[in-house]
Structure 1
Amino acid sequence: MIVELVLRLAGAGVLAFAAYKVGETLGGPYNRYVYVLVLSGIALGLLLTPWVTTRPFVWIRRRIRQIPAQHLLAGTIGLVIGLIIAALLALPLSRLPDPWAWILPLIGTIFFAYLGTAVMVMRRKDLLNIISPRLYREGPLREDKYVLLDTSVIIDGRIADISQTGFISGEMLVPRFVLNELQHIADSSDALRRNRGRRGLDMLNRLQKESVVPIRITDMDVEDYREVDDKLIMLAKQLRCPIITNDYNLNRVAELQGV
């Protein structure tokens, strides 16, 4: 990625400058090794910068996507309540003699932040009932708000007739990587594969024009996986929605992973 390359170069520049300053400050015999220090700083910057910048961010983002919205809402409310309680207790505790004046408020902040988050997540159903009784009675968000279509079911074509019956509830999503796979098949040098790919594109066009169920091409992607099937399964887990497929192997693998 361009962003990662820029960060690597920036990290290399910062560490090279820091290494030069260290060698310059130490002086004496270290002046002879200043170039070695600079080169070491550049190497460390190029190698380590992504691991302290983009990689943790990607991991956190992936984890957040897998957490249900109800958990996030309850956890955030609990965290705020815990921090408010900790702040109120910190005022009298700060008048204690050192080192308790800063140790106890710190411990209190960590404790009440964790306690508030844990309690609210565990009692999230009660919280949802208080915030919106109607939503609670209707249950959590329906898992069929979306359904993902894979390449095989689009090429098969029967999905167009099924969508007219009202059997499918929820918006049909076709990820961009599935559309790209269809285009790749349609451009194949093999006549059979080319015909299947073109039939899939025609069927997708028909679905967009005639389907009773809304259908949308989405740019949602799972960057950590390269295979289309793996991307579909992980995206279905993130959205908590089913996959419509004719692929037996994909069906079995998805079942094993809870989709």
Structure 2
Amino acid sequence: MVAKLILLTFLLVGGSLGYNVFPDLITNWNEVPSWLMHPVVGMVLGAGVFYIVSFYAVKPIEKGIVKIEQIFSELSIAYLMFGSIGAIVGLILALLISFPLNALNMLIISDVIPFILTMALAYIGFQLGTSRREEIRRLFQPKTVKQENSDVLDRKDGESFRKYKVLDTSTIIDGRILDVVRTGFLEGVLVISHYVLKELQYIADSSDSLKRVRGRRGLDILNALQKEKGITLEMDDSDIPESEDVDLKLVHLAKRLDGMIITNDFNLNKVAEFQNVSVLNINELANAVKPVVIPGEEMRVMIVKNGTERNQGVAYLDDGTMIVVEEGKFHMNEMLDVVVTSSLQTNAGRMIFAKMTTDQKSLDSRKDSDG
């Protein structure tokens, strides 16, 4: 579609130039046929020449347009809107200043300086509009009694701040978002799409008992979030026809709101990042706040199952971190004192490797005797 528009533009420009310029170019030629002087002939010739040129120019222009689209897609709507308003104000000021300069009829002052003023004031207006947009927005907001009497300055939103956080289905069913909200680490507005609500209702009405329990748990979490005083929960009923998949609908919704997605779905995380949408991943947050263990640290755990390798036993910390204990297979359902030997960070979480304290002590005593 873009290539066709570029081609049409070249045809119109070539035809217009040929219609207006070509007859004047060949007026001084000797023995020029009269039919060649007709503007319509010039229009056809100009359109033909520019049509041939367009074959070499369409690809570079199309690549440039794609790069510009990528740059603009990474900017927020507010940034572009206030920047455009500032640029328009700058252009109006430049026009007003140019009137008296043009009246002077001086070569440089009347021709060059207005052009420089136009470019400079448009740029300054754009910069002022983008850098002071929060102050401009507050000028047009009705002042409440609380705002007039308050001496506390509002926090200025940074470029990385996103007011709207779109929740996906997996995060709601997981339930940990409620604990995060209660701690006060999230600010802004939580957005629930009606597509997510329909998916939760479908899961809650499933014939599978496990799915039914998960769906009802998700609805309970939504009701609990709605009652929390520290956060605002909003429903979004807008139609998103760009995609049939619910995850992709959430990506388009986050783009539309200039917000971010809260999820624990690895695939949705990657798709959102590819679409330049910010993501808050609950699993990454959980892994980040888990206590760090170092080799040589001792702890007391209970072996609950066999490991994948020979003679290994598996235990878990209170936060769900897996601990693989050497020779733990022979101490099933027993509390053991273990010492950490190493740890491994994976996409699924942190895994700790340990051995029983008695084995470590015997190894240390053997080293002492050898020494």
Provide the identity percentage: 39
More helix by percentage? 1
* Aligned twin of 2:187: 169
Counterpart residue identity of residue 213, structure 2: N
1:254 CA drift (Å): 1.7
Q: CA deviation digits over 1:162-213, x for unaligned, max 9?
A: 2111122222111222112212222334333233222211221122124632
The reply on whether 1:75 has 2:93 as its aligned counterpart is no
- Map 1:21-36; keep pairs closer than 5 Å: none
**Alpha-carbon distance between aligned partners in 1 of 2:205 and 2:266, rounded to the nearest angstrom:** 25
Match for residue 175 of structure 2 among 157, 167, 177: 157
Q: CA deviation at 1:155?
A: 0.8
For residues 214-256 of structure 1, the C-alpha deviation after alignment (integer angstroms, 9 at most, x for no partner) is: 2222224533233211121222233333321121111122223
Mapped to 2, the partners of 1:233 and 1:221 lie a distance apart of 13
CA distance in 2, matches of 1:196, 1:256: 29
Map of 1:119-198 to 2, 5 A cutoff?
119-122=124-127, 124-125=129-130, 128=133, 138-140=156-158, 143-198=161-216
Give, in whole Å, the separation in 2 of the partners of 1:224 and 1:90.
48
1:229-240 equivalences under 5 Å are 229-240=247-258
Counterpart CA distance in 1 for 2:186 and 2:158 is 19
The equivalent position to 1:204 in structure 2, one of 222, 230, 240, is: 222
| Cα separation, partners in 2 of 1:240 and 1:126, compared to 1, 3 Å | closer
Larger relative contact order (C-alpha < 8 A, sep ≥ 6)?
1
Q: Contact between 2:89 and 2:125, CA under 8 Å: does it hold in 1? A: no
Name the SS for the 1:212 alignment partner: coil
2:268 match? 250
Q: 1:90 to 1:189 in 2, by over 3 A?
A: farther
TM-score (norm 1): 0.55
User: What's the Cα RMSD here?
Assistant: 4.1
Give structure 1 stretches of 5+ with no counterpart. 1-62, 94-107
Residue deviations 1:22-48, cap 9 Å, x none?
Answer: xxxxxxxxxxxxxxxxxxxxxxxxxxx
Q: 1:205 to 1:65 in 2, by over 3 A?
A: farther
TM-score scaled to structure 2, two decimals?
0.40
In structure 2, distance between residues paired with 1:255 and 1:65: 12
* Matches for 1:45-56 after TM superposition, within 5 Å: none
Q: CA 1:171–1:163 in 2, change beyond 3 Å: closer, same or farther?
A: same
Distance change >3 Å, CA 160–CA 178, structure 1 → 2? same
SS class of match (1:208): helix
Q: Distance in 2 between matches of 1:154 and 1:120?
A: 44
Contiguous gaps of at least 5 residues in structure 2: 1-71, 103-113, 139-151, 279-371
Contact 1:175/1:219 (CA < 8 Å) preserved in 2? yes
Q: Whole-Å Cα distance in 1 between the matches of residues 164 and 254 of structure 2?
A: 9
Matched letter for residue 254 of structure 1? A
Hey, which of these two has a bigger chunk of strand by percent?
2
Whether the 8 Å contact between 1:75 and 1:117 is mirrored in structure 2 is: no
Matched AA of 2:246:
V
Larger Rg: 2
Amino acid corresponding to residue 253 of structure 1 in structure 2: V
